[in-house]
Structure 1
Amino acid sequence: MGAQLAEARIADVLESLEHDLVGLEPVKTRIREIASLLVIDRLRHGFGLESERPSLHMCFTGSPGTGKTTVAMRMGEILNRLGYLAKGHLTSVSRDDLVGQYIGHTAPKTRDVLKRAMGGVLFIDEAYYLYKHDNERDYGAESIEILLQVMENQRSDIVVVLAGYRDRMDTFFESNPGMQSRIAHHIEFPDYTVDELLQIATLMLDQQRYRFSPGAVQAFRELLDRRMAQPRFANARSVRNALERCRLRQANRLVGAGGAVGRDDLMLIDEADVRKSRLLSAGQPPDAVDTA
């Protein structure tokens, strides 16, 4: 009964993670494993089976738009419900939020961020930019030292999640072994397949009360195939950008046509709204970059 009650406190969070994120099965499995560990740790504590508090600092690696921020947010909710974090809120930052531009500026900036993040999850995107090995006078090293101290001495008050591309994070850890030793969980976020991206697009449209026509579904699949082959493709972010352009073209089509516009017209993304993308038009250079 105790286990069931403990699991019930996080069941809805895991369910929302399943609903909000398409694919990413390896990621969801790791989150369930971590959640299960924390449930068991709490149950052991209730029976007087004391053990060291699990280390919860994490590293999320993968391409942009693969759900890293969303997972960090859900992880904060789980940790809060199980009593590991007082608030469970997410504070998302980058180098500019932590590192100053002159002497004496970095420490106050970093400590201010940490103060805001206390009781929750501190998500540092592209964390490798904190360290610039080619510049000994860079102030990022000072921020890293402060982070290391807090991650060690106040690990019951905050969980730090470092995020970025895997190869760059590997290089960052090689240069900062103290940081690597404090990270207990390394989770890789795979890129989405075209089928998963199409499912994400459908979910995004549904949330905004839009839908694809049958022809638009096939056209959007073709658009995704071409966009995925281009530089700087950002998974779900690129899907969102492409849909925004489809909405613009739909609005332009409806206004240009004149006449009465019904509810179904306002909701429908037609094939023409997709195929007018520069990516699907004749003569588009194969190496051009276009998000729609």
Structure 2
Amino acid sequence: MSKLENIKNNTLVNLQSEYQKTKIQDILDQLDKDLIGLVPVKTRIREIAALLLIDRLRKSLGLTSSNPGLHMSFTGSPGTGKTTVAMKMADILYKLGYIEKGHLLTVTRDDLVGQYIGHTAPKTKEVLKQAMGGVLFIDEAYYLYKPDNERDYGAESIEILLQVMENQRKDLVVIFAGYKEKMDKFYESNPGLSSRVTNHVNFPDYTPEELLLIGKLMLQDQQYRISDEAETVVLDYIERRMKQPLFANARSMRNAIDRARMRQANRIFASGNRVLTKADLVTLEAEDFLKSRIFAELFAD
């Protein structure tokens, strides 16, 4: 009887029990709670988690495993939840035993690349040392590569990263992140890097309706609300803001809310000595958003 037949005949695995032991579902549930929408992203994360769980079960039964690649690419616009998902991914990898510590270290080019000869290697190696046992999240990773500048040291950092990604796969998971178009070009220019990144997750922009819901949840956390009239104005604000430069999805929504709170405070302060109700203090009105520069053209002479 072959080894495989022996395993098949004598070993039972309760998949549900093994899954519950990992507590991965708690992480996925929290991801659903923390992030509105992003269904394709959440589906992809579940698929990766399922693959890793099955891989772990196969190893426990003595079956061969191809060691699934863990390095990832998160592409999408700013404010679409890439860092939040990376944190949850680190939790999943830790729960399944693929990394020892489970922490997430977020860096950019400035943390990795030096400004003079001999400076880049120590910087990159120090970052890698801090990230060992966890996940290294490199935001706007394409800035590491500047082919038009012969004196740039980003290529040196990439070479060190490649060596660690290949030789210390059990010690570190790297997630590269940034705009999709720029990341695609980044991978095209670095075949060695592209071959080591096996999991690609694209983060779509939020819809106006999703951003409105995100904004309402942000306000709820701060014990504020928006009036029914203000909801219509906020939706209009989002649609207008999305057409302008530097739009950053949930990040832009948070900035809009912060400014609206400031305008509400000024409005209340300017109202004089009238007695304020709790509703006055917690409610953002339409005018608190209409005073944004986004609506300036509506009130222009």
Residues 1:145 and 2:159 are matched in the alignment? yes
Q: CA deviation at 1:284?
A: 7.2
d(CA) in 1 for partners of 2:271, 2:191: 63
Q: Which residue of 2 aligns with 1:270?
A: 285
Residues 1:7 and 2:19 are matched in the alignment? yes
Runs of 5+ consecutive residues of structure 2 not aligned to the other structure: 1-12
| 1:15-38: CA deviation from partner (whole Å, max 9, x where unpaired) | 011111111111111000000111
Secondary structure at the residue paired with 2:117?
A: coil
Residues 1:243 and 2:257 are matched in the alignment? yes
Secondary structure at the residue paired with 2:215?
A: helix
Q: CA deviation at 1:283?
A: 5.2
Q: Which residue of 1 aligns with 2:180?
A: 166
| Amino acid across the alignment from 1:224 | I
The normalised TM-score by structure 2 is 0.91
| 1:237-256: CA deviation from partner (whole Å, max 9, x where unpaired) | 11111011011011111222
| 1:206-228: CA deviation from partner (whole Å, max 9, x where unpaired) | 11111111011111011111101
Q: CA deviation at 1:265?
A: 2.2
d(CA) in 2 for partners of 1:159, 1:68: 15
Q: CA deviation at 1:174?
A: 1.4
Residues 1:96 and 2:110 are matched in the alignment? yes
d(CA) in 1 for partners of 2:19, 2:228: 41
Question: Residue 70 of structure 2: which of 42, 46, 56 is its match?
Answer: 56
Root-mean-square deviation (CA), in Å?
A: 1.4
**Contact 1:278-1:284 within 8 A present in 2 as well:** no
Residues 1:47 and 2:77 are matched in the alignment? no
d(CA) in 2 for partners of 1:87, 1:261: 50
| 1:89-118: CA deviation from partner (whole Å, max 9, x where unpaired) | 111111000000011110110011111111
Residues 1:111 and 2:125 are matched in the alignment? yes
d(CA) in 2 for partners of 1:173, 1:222: 37
**Contact 1:122-1:161 within 8 A present in 2 as well:** yes
Name which one, 1 or 2, has greater alpha-carbon Rg: 2
d(CA) in 2 for partners of 1:161, 1:231: 26
| Amino acid across the alignment from 2:19 | E
Aligned length: 285
Q: CA deviation at 1:276?
A: 1.5
Q: Which residue of 1 aligns with 2:206?
A: 192
Q: Which residue of 2 aligns with 1:288?
A: none
Residues 1:228 and 2:214 are matched in the alignment? no
Q: Which residue of 2 aligns with 1:34?
A: 48
Runs of 5+ consecutive residues of structure 1 not aligned to the other structure: 286-292
d(CA) in 1 for partners of 2:276, 2:94: 47
d(CA) in 2 for partners of 1:135, 1:282: 43
| Alpha carbons of structure 1 residues 282 and 27: separation in structure 2 relative to 1, 3 Å | same
Q: CA deviation at 1:73?
A: 0.7
Secondary structure at the residue paired with 1:64?
A: coil
**Contact 1:124-1:161 within 8 A present in 2 as well:** yes
Q: CA deviation at 1:47?
A: 1.6
The normalised TM-score by structure 1 is 0.94
Q: Which residue of 2 aligns with 1:289?
A: none
